[in-house]
Structure 1
Amino acid sequence: MGTALVYHEDMMATRLLWDDPECKIESPERLAAALGCLRQCGLEQRCLHVAAREASEAELSLVHSPEYVDLVRRTQTLGTEELQALSGQYDAVYFHPSTFHCARLAAGAALQLVDAVLTGTAHNGLALVRPPGHHSQRAAANGFCVFNNVAIAAEHAKRKHGLCRILVVDWDIHHGQGIQYIFEDDPSVLYFSWHRYEHGRFWPFLPESDADTVGQGQGRGFTINLPWNQVGMTNADYLAAFLHVLLPVAFEFDPELVLVSAGFDSVVGDPEGQMQATPECFAHLTQLLQVLAGGRVCAVLEGGYHLESLAQSVCMTVRALLGDPTPALSGPMAPCQSALESIQNVRGAQAPHWKSLQQQDVSPGLGPSIHFPEERPLLLLPGNPVYKAEPLPRLLLDQKHHYSVPPVRMAVALTAPHSTSALPPDVLCQQSAPKWETEAWAKSHESLAQDETLTALGKFLYLLSRVLDGQVSSGVASTLASAVAATLDVAIWQGLSRGAERVLCVVLGQLDRPLDLADDGRILWLNIGGKEAAIFSMYHVSMPLPRTTGGFLSCILGVVLPMAYGFRPDLVLVALGPDHGLQAPQAALLAAMLRAPAGGRVLALLEESAPQLAQALAQGLCGEAPPSLGPFSTASRVDLQALMGLRAQLQWRWEMVRVAAPEPTRGAPCSRSLERPETSAPPGNFPAAAPALPPSASVNDR
């Protein structure tokens, strides 16, 4: 199985035949630019090519009325004036004699992709289509959209393949009200959309695009709207929305398929969105979605009207689907005030329906270091109605030419022969660092002096060197239980000496932090399952390992990943020490999710007596979808209190941990510093008080 790429060049046939400034941006060049970039970057050749087919009228009728399908069919014989008159009856729509053919191909491409993924022909994929679909309604075209491609694909997956839980993620910058209307009372489809809203002053100007619209009847809680009330949202804002809203609910929902309404008008440079997220952000978002539904992710193109940013964003999405490491994110990793207010509002609206949001709440409160540096004000559209797209930075334009993928995605260096039996032979690393180098690093650790531990250290150092020099993306290594702590210590200093500026250590179990590690911003030590929940300094945090699925996810999504993204590590070291308590599905999920913040540079170290965990870590680092964690269960009161207390204190230094805007400055303009936050502030600068645990509320059983 691989990544399917579905398209048909006939979809470039339809184009605007008269003067219409609003509609002219939806042009055939959009598809040509995306395809050209995929070919130039060698990505099309790596995909499984699937030709689009026309959707049948019966398939279109899964979500559209027969009368509407008949109306679109009749456009094939209309002249230009008749087409223009008909188009004028709809909002931001144009028809062409080829519209019916192209729109059927677009819907059929989405169906082909879903069939390929659900039958096992492909693991995931992208359908490059036009016209787009997410605004189209049962009996009306709308917003360039004729047939609702993603909605048709979702209904098809339910009826033909028997799926009961489908997640639709709409990251287009416009609200996909068509999808929302079609499934608003259907609990089998969870619809998530973020969109430019500006308190109802941005198209399509609908009150039902706001956060308080959550669905109807049995579908209450299955519509999630996250409205952006300012322009200028960045990578940090988009990631915060995923970590603190979408992913907690998605894990609780446990989808069997993820459909993405992949609109790229939410990227920097696009005149419709006026946002500042960069193309590589969509590689991160895609990789985060791949931990759901066994990795069955089907992306379908929607909007995107800046040809260069559209093309590069499509390439980044395909790279992530192929399993390539994600490139580093640019810009400060701190959500802005307006984004935090939106996140806070949607969490409040959805909390009655989802246990996962109830157990993550952190009251904003007061604390030291409340600041939103005032260097880049982001303008509201009203009062600035004329928008001129700024030229994209040269770095962005050249990015596709500088992006490289390590020749080896993942390698393992395991000491016990039986540990390798379940792994493919091409990932085994048999080489070792030179003996003199190994002995030099082992001198300061008595536990590394034995022949067996020296052999394991030599393999580990060789593997670490290959990761640091870009020949291997990630790796798994083992050693004797008594040597895990010493080997990790060597790895930290080897990483720093070989050019890594920031090393993230995620330690599971009872492994003490080396005493000689300074709090100088180079090393972030996160101990999960340590002796206590404590913040020893801003770079040394200990937290419990919750035993429930909900508690584990709260730990990873609410603390570990936000801190990792805020820290921006060059290298992630994962170590499993004594009494780590990690199960294989948890290990695979942790490894898979830690790939993103460090561009795939993750090296896991564990005891040689844990072959199942070694296999799970290797699979996660290879990009394989982790197995399900099992039925969702909330964190225990003790674990929840500990995590909430940690997050309440950490949010003042690690801004990606925040889920709410600080009260004293609510309503202030959304602004950020363009510089990376200072990392040399004194340790321990946190508020002492933690919020009380909120009382439990009624929750709909899922």
Structure 2
Amino acid sequence: MRTALVYHGEMTAARLLWEDPECEIERPERLTAALERLQQEGLERRCLQLAAREASEAELGLVHSPEYVSLLRGTSALGTEELRALSGQYDAVYFHPSTFHCARLAAGAALQLVDAVLTGAAHNGLALVRPPGHHSQRAAASGFCVFNNVALAAKHAQQRHGLHRILIVDWDVHHGQGTQYIFEDDPSVLYFSWHRYEHGRFWPYLRESDADAIGRGQGRGFTVNLPWNQVGMGNADYMAAFLHVLLPVAFEFDPELVLISAGFDSAIGDPEGQMQATPECFAHLTQLLQGLAGGRVCAVLEGGYHLESLSQSVCMVVKALLGDPAPPLSGPMVPQHSALESIQSARAAQAPHWTSLRQQGSAPILSSSTWSPEERPSPVSPGGPKFEAAEAQTSAVLSSLLDQLHLHPTPPVRTAVALTALDAALVLPPEVLLQEGSAPQEETQAWARLHKALAQDTAFIALGKVLHLLNGILDGQVSSGIATTPAIAVTLEVAILHGLSHRAQRVLCVAVGHLDRPPDLASDGRTLWLNIRGKEAAALSTFHVSVPLPGTTGGFLSCILALVLPLAYGFQPDLVLVVLGPAHGLQDPQAALLAALLRGPAGGRVLVLVEQESPSQLVGVLARVLHGEAPPSLGPFSMASPEDLQALIHLRGQLEAQWKMLQVAGEAGDRAEAECRECGGTVLP
């Protein structure tokens, strides 16, 4: 993977020159701490390092007015009191004689990153910048932001590179109202923002931050707001928001470029967000976004004010961009009730505009979070005098989290392929290991006694290779792998049993094709069997689920995003087995996307079993996505059939009481769905 890291030390020059509790958290150490952690983890040297350039005034004019750019240019000649007076004209902003230079470097870094990715010099990357940008508007600074770096990057990608569809994902804890205003009537830019809102009581206190603010004119439906109305949102809440709101819409939109407004004040320990998402969550979010736009993902730093939390989270994003497996998510995967209410509100507001979310029936939008300034109690603004105390209180928690992350080091071999016969047409990335070894003969013989079919020469040799590869994955020497076998059903049974007897506490098996669950598997909750292309849509038990293979891209995506991944993340497996069995029916891009997305739940520990006769092209594309490359496009989006949708609705109804990650609504949404079904309507997943 070729990941660009864009940075310039001169972006640390601007700093607060007077006492201001609101603004003191935006300090140069935010950059230096993140860069030092990247260096300590050995990540900086693995990246293509680019020194940021200043954006030209013409480039700034893609978004900002000439008068505003001229005003900012003049700040370099102002004294401290003049700077303080000018800063007071804006909301939560401070200026310094170096602000114009720093802000031009920040904007230029975002443009430089986009150029590197769209010209092929890099696959993806991160711009480590300050000041941040997503609050900045055409002619106004706001919330520490001077120029809107990500908006400028999007306009630059359109004007210079001719792009027509750009996705902006804003996971900062504050609403990026500046970005929303710039693109709210533009259908070529899809803007998604989750943000702390608290029914309008959190900065920037805007009615247009609520879920029913969806854009204007031709841009209606291309602004997606997901407001958090309580603090304490964690890993399960963030993953649910991606699976049930962002990703369905994003895959339907089919962007050519993904820009991330990467604010880490939404991470644990940050005094601004007061959220609970741990650093590795941002690796999972990044990994999910790499399934879009051919992996062309550009992250640009926004907020993040707890230095330890910020630096850990930045490292997690860079590791994901480099293709490293994401560590398993910590904590129970159960979304909070308030998060489900927000998800339901966003889905309902967007459903009229997106086939992937469209509802039939009368399920309403939840009550709008209306408020008036007179009713607003104790509004919360950026910064504050308790910042240092809050930072000290969370240091112990973050140190413990860091220790946990170090329990999951990246294996020395990221991807290995075990074949019984080498096909001359097979093309593998040079970093992928073509495994030659096998398990000890006694070990292979012991497992081969389970089935006569495994005693045959070719099947026996394949079993030895599968066991050797599986041992490498379970021992932490290999992250993921692919193996071929002529006896796929019985080899799969051995792989499950061997995994459970060799370190794995929970094994997820995603079997695609005509494969029956092994009859001897214990029903003790240690295995979750999910059969795609099963004979019917049925939850035969909490841990045995069957669903027919959908026949359209929309149906396939709904199956993966609304069923497979929620079950996988809810189960929290130690090992994922993906099996492409007889007549599996998947096209290569579908198989690749399935394998790529299933890298997340088990921390990258994925073994894919395919039939020995499978085309070498399929093995090659699977090896590339397991190694961290982006999966190929599924092609044009086509709506799921009514039968496929009904199958998913049926399964969700059977399973969501046990598997909370399947839920997409709070109590009010649950009632609406129930009423809708009673009157004969359906609500799409």
Shorter-chain TM-score tier? over 0.9
For 1:22 and 1:604, locate their aligned partners in 2 and report how far apart those are by CA, in whole Å.
52
Distance change >3 Å, CA 447–CA 662, structure 1 → 2: farther
Distance change >3 Å, CA 154–CA 652, structure 1 → 2: same
Structure 1 residues 529-585: Cα deviation after superposition (integer angstroms, max 9, x where no partner):
011111110000001110100000000000000000000000000111112111100
Of 391, 394, 415, 2:394 maps to: 391
Distance change >3 Å, CA 253–CA 79, structure 1 → 2: same
> What's 1:454 paired with?
460
For 2:360 and 2:621, locate their aligned partners in 1 and report how far apart those are by CA, in whole Å.
27
SS in 1 for 2:167: strand
Distance change >3 Å, CA 599–CA 361, structure 1 → 2: farther
SS in 2 for 1:34: helix
> What's 1:684 paired with?
none
Q: Please say if residues 361 and 683 of structure 2, whose CA atoms lie closer than 8 Å, have aligned partners that are also in contact.
A: no
> Which one-letter code corresponds to 2:549 in the other structure?
L
Equivalent residue runs for 1:113-262 within 5 Å? 113-262=113-262
Q: 1:468 aligned to 2:474? A: yes
For 2:467 and 2:668, locate their aligned partners in 1 and report how far apart those are by CA, in whole Å.
49
Equivalent residue runs for 1:470-619 within 5 Å? 470-480=476-486, 483-611=487-615, 612-619=617-624
Q: 1:621 aligned to 2:626? A: yes
SS in 2 for 1:332: coil
> What's 1:408 paired with?
413
For 1:428 and 1:647, locate their aligned partners in 2 and report how far apart those are by CA, in whole Å.
40
Structure 1 residues 99-141: Cα deviation after superposition (integer angstroms, max 9, x where no partner):
0000000000000100000000000000000000000000000
Q: Please say if residues 261 and 300 of structure 2, whose CA atoms lie closer than 8 Å, have aligned partners that are also in contact.
A: yes
> What's 1:657 paired with?
662
Q: Please say if residues 473 and 479 of structure 2, whose CA atoms lie closer than 8 Å, have aligned partners that are also in contact.
A: yes
> What's 2:371 paired with?
none
For 1:445 and 1:381, locate their aligned partners in 2 and report how far apart those are by CA, in whole Å.
69
Deviates more, 1:309-318 or 1:413-422: 413-422
> Which one-letter code corresponds to 2:564 in the other structure?
V
Deviation at 1:85, TM superposition (A): 0.3
For 1:442 and 1:144, locate their aligned partners in 2 and report how far apart those are by CA, in whole Å.
65
Distance change >3 Å, CA 384–CA 98, structure 1 → 2: closer
Distance change >3 Å, CA 381–CA 118, structure 1 → 2: farther
SS in 1 for 2:255: coil
Distance change >3 Å, CA 381–CA 38, structure 1 → 2: farther
SS in 1 for 2:356: helix
SS in 2 for 1:146: coil
Distance change >3 Å, CA 486–CA 691, structure 1 → 2: farther
Structure 1 residues 583-612: Cα deviation after superposition (integer angstroms, max 9, x where no partner):
100000000000011111000101111123
> Which one-letter code corresponds to 1:565 in the other structure?
Y
Distance change >3 Å, CA 414–CA 239, structure 1 → 2: same
Structure 1 residues 294-351: Cα deviation after superposition (integer angstroms, max 9, x where no partner):
0000000000000110010001110100111111111110110000000000100000
> What's 1:433 paired with?
439
Structure 2, unpaired ranges of 5+: 365-375
Q: Please say if residues 575 and 606 of structure 1, whose CA atoms lie closer than 8 Å, have aligned partners that are also in contact.
A: yes
Structure 1 residues 225-281: Cα deviation after superposition (integer angstroms, max 9, x where no partner):
000000000000000000000000000000000000000000111111010111110
Deviates more, 1:511-520 or 1:147-156: 511-520
Equivalent residue runs for 1:317-332 within 5 Å? 317-332=317-332
SS in 1 for 2:610: strand
Deviation at 1:694, TM superposition (A): 3.6
For 1:661 and 1:588, locate their aligned partners in 2 and report how far apart those are by CA, in whole Å.
33
Q: Please say if residues 134 and 261 of structure 1, whose CA atoms lie closer than 8 Å, have aligned partners that are also in contact.
A: yes
Distance change >3 Å, CA 270–CA 119, structure 1 → 2: same
Q: 1:44 aligned to 2:41? A: no
> What's 1:368 paired with?
none
For 2:658 and 2:512, locate their aligned partners in 1 and report how far apart those are by CA, in whole Å.
23
Distance change >3 Å, CA 267–CA 213, structure 1 → 2: same
For 2:216 and 2:669, locate their aligned partners in 1 and report how far apart those are by CA, in whole Å.
35
SS in 2 for 1:4: strand
Q: Please say if residues 312 and 400 of structure 1, whose CA atoms lie closer than 8 Å, have aligned partners that are also in contact.
A: no
> What's 2:92 paired with?
92
Q: Please say if residues 360 and 554 of structure 1, whose CA atoms lie closer than 8 Å, have aligned partners that are also in contact.
A: no
Q: Please say if residues 649 and 690 of structure 1, whose CA atoms lie closer than 8 Å, have aligned partners that are also in contact.
A: no
Deviation at 1:381, TM superposition (A): 8.7
For 1:429 and 1:139, locate their aligned partners in 2 and report how far apart those are by CA, in whole Å.
59
Q: Please say if residues 14 and 96 of structure 2, whose CA atoms lie closer than 8 Å, have aligned partners that are also in contact.
A: yes
> What's 1:678 paired with?
none
> What's 1:279 paired with?
279
Distance change >3 Å, CA 295–CA 576, structure 1 → 2: same
Deviation at 1:382, TM superposition (A): 5.1
> What's 2:368 paired with?
none
Deviation at 1:691, TM superposition (A): 7.3
> Which one-letter code corresponds to 2:409 in the other structure?
S
The percentage of aligned residue pairs carrying the same residue is 73
Deviation at 1:435, TM superposition (A): 1.4
Q: Please say if residues 508 and 573 of structure 2, whose CA atoms lie closer than 8 Å, have aligned partners that are also in contact.
A: yes
For 1:693 and 1:194, locate their aligned partners in 2 and report how far apart those are by CA, in whole Å.
33
Of 636, 639, 645, 2:644 maps to: 639
> What's 1:344 paired with?
344
Distance change >3 Å, CA 360–CA 46, structure 1 → 2: farther
RMSD of Structure 2 on Structure 1 (CA): 2.2
Q: Please say if residues 509 and 530 of structure 1, whose CA atoms lie closer than 8 Å, have aligned partners that are also in contact.
A: yes
TM-score, structure 1 normalization: 0.91
Q: Please say if residues 16 and 96 of structure 2, whose CA atoms lie closer than 8 Å, have aligned partners that are also in contact.
A: yes
For 2:241 and 2:493, locate their aligned partners in 1 and report how far apart those are by CA, in whole Å.
35
SS in 2 for 1:563: helix
For 2:151 and 2:529, locate their aligned partners in 1 and report how far apart those are by CA, in whole Å.
44
Distance change >3 Å, CA 690–CA 609, structure 1 → 2: farther
Alignment size in residue pairs = 659
> Which one-letter code corresponds to 2:437 in the other structure?
Q
SS in 1 for 2:270: coil
For 2:315 and 2:245, locate their aligned partners in 1 and report how far apart those are by CA, in whole Å.
26
Deviation at 1:391, TM superposition (A): 1.9
SS in 2 for 1:418: coil
> What's 1:263 paired with?
263
> What's 1:355 paired with?
355
Q: 1:70 aligned to 2:70? A: yes
TM-score, structure 2 normalization: 0.93
